[in-house]
Amino acid sequence: MQNNISMPVSIYALGGLGEVGKNMYCIENEQTLIIIDAGVRFPGIELPGIDYVIPDFTHLKNNRNKVKALFITHGHEDHIGGIPFLIQNINIPVIYAPRLAAALIKSKLEDNKLQERVRIVEYDENSIVNVDTFKVSFIRVTHSIPDSFGICVDTTEGRIVSTGDFKIDLTPIGPDIELTKFARLGEEGVDLLLSDSTNSENEGYTPSEKTVLSSIEEIFSLTPGRLIISTFSSNIARIQQICEVAVRNNRKIAIIGRSMEKAIQIARSFGYIKIPDDSIIQPQDIKLYKSYELVVLCTGSQGEPGAALSRIANGEHKDLSIMPGDTVVFSSSAIPGNQLMIERVENSLTRCGADVITNSVLSDIHSSGHPAKQELRLLLKLVNPKYFMPVHGEYRMLRIHAELAQSLGLDSNNTFVLENGDTLVLSKHKIRMGYKVEAGNAYIDGHDISGLAQSVINDRKVLNEEGMLSVAIAVDTKTNELILPPTFYVKGLINQGSPKIIEECRILVEKSIRELLKGKTNFAELKQTIKVIASDFLYSKTQKRPMVIPVIMSKVE
């Protein structure tokens, strides 16, 4: 460490603030930039046709020579899903990741033929990594996936601790959270704490993962027919419990969904999931077994249109169709913004005759991997930071977490509820607000790494919510005559705008065009007139502004 040289350190998020997902946090000084996590956010119905939302990497591209390493806290998609897009945009010299996350990342890169692009190094709770003047160490935490860690970064200007995703589970599935290490760091002095805010609205403690086991066992005992359980493919602890109960109940396990298959395959190879080989069957063999002999594990608990459960609900899956007597269990909680998609799938399943079970006070079939208020209070007490920046949550979650810290005695001037791109500057153990870096969203449609512009997203929203009107006319450019009256093509308007309204609009547009053609005009003016007249008239009649697309054909001698 070059302790005699003062190099102020900037801390900021490119994703993860004001949202659940898309986590990406950066620590940067004059010569070095390290990244913590590179996640995606899964879009809801408000983003039609979009597969992923990832951070805007512009700032990283502009500082590509300073980027030295990417550190991963755990293997969930909102922390690793953006890696294929990131490494195609800038050179990441090395990725440091815990064991399971490293395997999931390698698999993801192989799927995208990117495995040669980056070196992956595994770490554990005893590892120390030096990146120029930054010393990085790790704290094991409890979460809904094995091998989850918080990260401590010691710099010349002070110490930064990020919890990663965690909860304080005293009866965990797997190793305990290293509370003593958090306490030791606190005793030594922590300048800035970044802490998970996802469950900051909930009082008390998040239930232990083991509390879900009795509910799973009860569901198995009360279900005479086929049992279809959907959960996050990366919720390894939950999947292990479901499989244990299935084996005890002599049910064969069919796994549907590519991400579920891959996650279980990797977790089994590491011993995190233990299933006898003869308990697993291929999806195409489902029809060979009686209903009470089966349990199906599948993806799609968030209602994603292309996921396995949605295809099953819509009758589009080649190996499994819903039958009366089937029981479908959603063993997860809704990610903010996904409730409408989930309800749509639930309704489709119910129409097909399935009994649908979701998490409620009557059936505890899901336990969050994130801390409630008492766990947040305990962590804050142990770490005792001078400054605090809540992360990983929507704005209200961040605000509640900041107020929670203040209720424990932290000065309100030392708590920072920020937006993506806002920076904190750490210098000689003191923090101030800094400049703003470029931050935003990139929208991924398929595997195009360039992403879609916001203007394209806005157009899709208009088409989805307001509809479209195409107006075609033909003009003789020599005589300035309208030789083909306006022809309307309408999509997406309520009742197609009703024939009477559309005809009134067509007459109004035609009249305006003929008036323009009496004098000097051009195609640009004609198109603008069509847009304004049609849009304003339809809004006055339907309260909708469809996208208006003028098409002008010309006759030239």
How many distinct helices (H) and strands (E) make up the chain? Answer: 15, 25
CATH of the domain at 545: 3.10.20.580
In a domain, residue 494? The reply is yes
pLDDT of residue 363: 46
Asked if residue 458 is part of any domain, the answer here is no
Collect all residues with Cβ–Cβ distance below 8 Å to 168 and sequence separation of at least 6. Answer: 142, 177, 179, 205, 371, 375, 378, 379
Same domain, 301 and 228: yes
Separation of alpha carbons 11 and 26, rounded Å: 6
Specify whether 43 is located in the same domain as 192. Answer: yes
DSSP assignment string, 437-482: ----EEEESTT-TT-B-HHHHHHHHHHHHT-EEEEEEEEETTTTEE
In a domain, 1, yes or no: no
Regions of the chain with pLDDT less than 50: 1-2, 360-363, 496
Q: Which of 147, 154, 165, 196 is catalytic?
A: 196
Q: Summarize pLDDT for 268-306 with one digit per residue, the tens.
A: 998 888 899 999 999 999 999 999 999 999 988 888 878
pLDDT of residue 557: 53
CATH of the domain at 233: 3.40.50.10710
Half-sphere exposure of residue 460: CA atoms within 13 angstroms, side-chain side: 14
pLDDT at 453: 56
Whether 461 is covered by a domain: the verdict is no
Residue 495 pLDDT: 55
124 with 141, same domain? yes
Q: Looking at residue 401, which CATH number applies to its domain?
A: 3.60.15.10
pLDDT digits (tens, 9 = 90+) for 99-155: 999 999 999 999 888 888 899 999 999 999 999 999 999 999 999 889 999 999 999
Which residue among the candidates 59, 366, 370, 401 is catalytic per the annotation? 370
Answer with the one of 357, 385, 419 that is the final residue of a domain. 357
55 and 189 belong to one structural domain: yes
CA distance 128 to 139: 11
Output the CA torsion sign for 536, 537, 543, 547: negative
d(CA 387, CA 233): 36
Is there a catalytic annotation at residue 355? no
Question: Considering the domain boundaries, does residue 2 fall inside one?
Answer: no
Residue 456 included in any domain:
no
Tell me whether residue 139 is in a domain. yes
Q: Are residues 300 and 318 in the same domain?
A: yes
Strands 227-230, 327-330: parallel, antiparallel or unpaired by DSSP? parallel
Q: Which domain holds residue 132?
A: 10-204+368-447
Looking at the structure of the chain, the number of domains it has is 3
> What's the pLDDT at 202?
92
The verdict on residue 455 lying in a domain is no
Q: Which of 412, 447, 482 is the last residue of a domain?
A: 447
Residues 407, 281 share a domain: no
Residue 196 bears catalytic tag: yes
